[in-house]
Structure 1
Amino acid sequence: MKIAEIFKSLQGEGVRQGTPCIFIRLAGCNLACRWCDTQYARSGGTETSCDKILEEIWKENPRSVCITGGEPLLQTDVLLPLLASLHKRGITIDIETNGTIDFSPVQPFAAVCMDVKCPSSGERSDLSLLARIRPTDSVKFVVGDLADCRYAQEVLARHAIAGECFLSPVYGTDCDTIVRFILDNNLPVRFQLQLHKILGVK
C-alpha cells in the first residue's frame, strides 16, 4: 500500500485524545479540503508491503494504532490484511475517514471516525454513511465559522448518530464564537481542540 509516513505520537483528537499511538498515514486522497493540514499526503507515498509495515509496528509494541491519510479507505482492499493482523494481536485500531467511502468493510477490526466535511472545507461527505456509525465509532465536524456550526447543527438534527460527536475548530479559528454557539444551541457534541497542534507535535 502507499504509505506517506509511520510515526509515534500522542493521539491529538477523538475519543482517545492524549493517549500514545502509532500512526500509519496512507497516501492519496479523493478530496481537496481548503484547510487540509496534511497536503503532503494527498499524493505520492512509498509502496510498502503489509509485512514491512507490521515489522515496523511490532518494534514499538503499541496498544493503539491509528490509520489516517490522505483518505485511507481508497486502499481498503490492501488495508484489510493489515487490520486483521493488528486486530488479532489485540491492538486498538482507529481509522480516520472523510466520509465519502463505505467504511463497513473495516468495522469488524476498527473504530471509525468519520470527518463530516463542512461548507468552509469546499467539500462534502456522504451523509448516508452516518447511519452506519456504531456506538464505538465517532463523528467529527471541523468548523471554521458560524456557517459551519449551523451546518453541523442541521446534520445532527436530521441524523440519528449512534457514536460520540465532536466539534473541532479549524486551527487558529476564534474558539469563543464556536463555544458560544454550542452552549446557546445545546448541541449534543464535545468541543475539542487539536492537542497535537497545541503541543507542537505530529
Structure 2
Amino acid sequence: MRSASLRISEIFHSLQGETSRIGLPTVFVRLTGCPLRCTWCDSAYAFHGGETMTIADILEKVAGYDARHVCVTGGEPLAQKPVHQLLRDLCDAGYSVSLETSGALPVNEVDARVSRIVDLKAPGSGETEKNLWSNLDMLGANDEIKFVLAGREDYEWARTVIRDRNLEQVAPILFSPVWDSLPPARLADWVLEDKLPVRMQVQLHKILWGEKPGV
C-alpha cells in the first residue's frame, strides 16, 4: 500500500521553546499551509512552498535525529488530512508527540496519545472569529491551551475567557507574549497581580538563536 503524503515546510532538531515541554530536545515537523493570517505570525514562510514527502519518508527522517520528543506544527498541520496518519504512526513508533494547532480546526480526530496544544486567538491576532470553541470540550489534562498576547487588550480578553469558561478545569493554560511587542516582565506582572492560574512562558528558541526558521 502506498504511503500517504504531506506537504512539509521543514523538519529539524532543536530545543522545544514553549509549552510544558520547554527545553526538551525535540524533532519539529512543520507542515506547509495555514488558513489563518495572524498579525504576529512568526512562521509565515510556511504558508507556501515546501516539499511533498511520504509519511514513510517523514518517519525515516525523524528517526535519524534519535530524539524521544516530536512536535508536529505549521502553518496549521490539521489543514492536511493525512496528518492524522502521521500522528498515529509517530505514536506507534514510541515517540512522545505534541501537536501545535491554531484552534480553528477540529481536534477530535487527533490520536488520544498526542498532546494537543490549542492556540486560542486573542483580538490582537486579527483572527478571533476563527476560534472553534467546541474544541475546548475535547481537551483534557494531557493537552494545553495557549494564548499569544500582544498587549493589555489581549490580556484582559484572555482573562475573561479563562474565568467565563472555567478553563482552569479544562487543561493547563499557557500565556506567551508576542515577540518584540509585549515585554515579558509586564505580562508577568499582570499575571501575578490577578493571580491567574496560568503558566507564563517566553520563546526559549528565540532567546537562544533569534527569530528564524530551523530553530
Q: Same fold (TM over 0.5)?
A: yes
Query: Counterparts of 1:54 and 1:174 in 2: how far apart (Å)?
Result: 38
Q: Is it true that 1:170 corresponds to 2:178 in the alignment?
A: yes
Per-residue deviation at 1:48?
0.8
Deviations 1:141-171 (A, max 9, x none): 1111000000110110122332110111001
Show the counterpart of 2:191: 182
Query: Counterparts of 1:118 and 1:132 in 2: how far apart (Å)?
Result: 20
| Residue aligned with 2:64, SS | helix
Q: Is the 8 A contact 1:65 1:92 kept in 2?
A: yes
- Residue identity matched to 1:8: H
Show the counterpart of 2:32: 27
5+ residue gaps in structure 2?
A: 1-5
**Aligned positions, number:** 201
Show the counterpart of 2:142: 136
Alignment of 1:27-66 (within 5 A): 27-66=32-71
Structure 1 window deviating more from structure 2 (20-29 vs 130-139): it is: 130-139
Query: Counterparts of 2:193 and 2:114 in 1: how far apart (Å)?
Result: 34
TM-score where L is the length of structure 2:
0.90
Show the counterpart of 2:96: 92
Show the counterpart of 2:3: none
Show the counterpart of 2:9: 4
| Residue aligned with 1:86, SS | helix
Query: Counterparts of 1:165 and 1:146 in 2: how far apart (Å)?
Result: 18
The change in CA–CA distance for 1:159 and 1:33 in structure 2 (over 3 A counts) is same
| Residue aligned with 2:206, SS | helix
TM-score where L is the length of structure 1:
0.95
- Residue identity matched to 1:145: G
Per-residue deviation at 1:25?
0.1
Alignment of 1:60-139 (within 5 A): 60-75=65-80, 77-124=81-128, 125-139=131-145
Q: Is the 8 A contact 2:108 2:135 kept in 1?
A: no
Q: Is the 8 A contact 2:106 2:132 kept in 1?
A: no
| Residue aligned with 2:42, SS | coil
Query: Counterparts of 1:160 and 1:180 in 2: how far apart (Å)?
Result: 22
Per-residue deviation at 1:60?
1.7
Query: Counterparts of 1:8 and 1:46 in 2: how far apart (Å)?
Result: 18
Per-residue deviation at 1:123?
0.6
Q: Is the 8 A contact 2:88 2:111 kept in 1?
A: no
The change in CA–CA distance for 1:57 and 1:6 in structure 2 (over 3 A counts) is same
Q: Is the 8 A contact 1:114 1:138 kept in 2?
A: yes
Per-residue deviation at 1:127?
2.3
Per-residue deviation at 1:176?
2.8
Deviations 1:7-49 (A, max 9, x none): 0000000010000000000000010000000110012221111
- Residue identity matched to 1:126: L
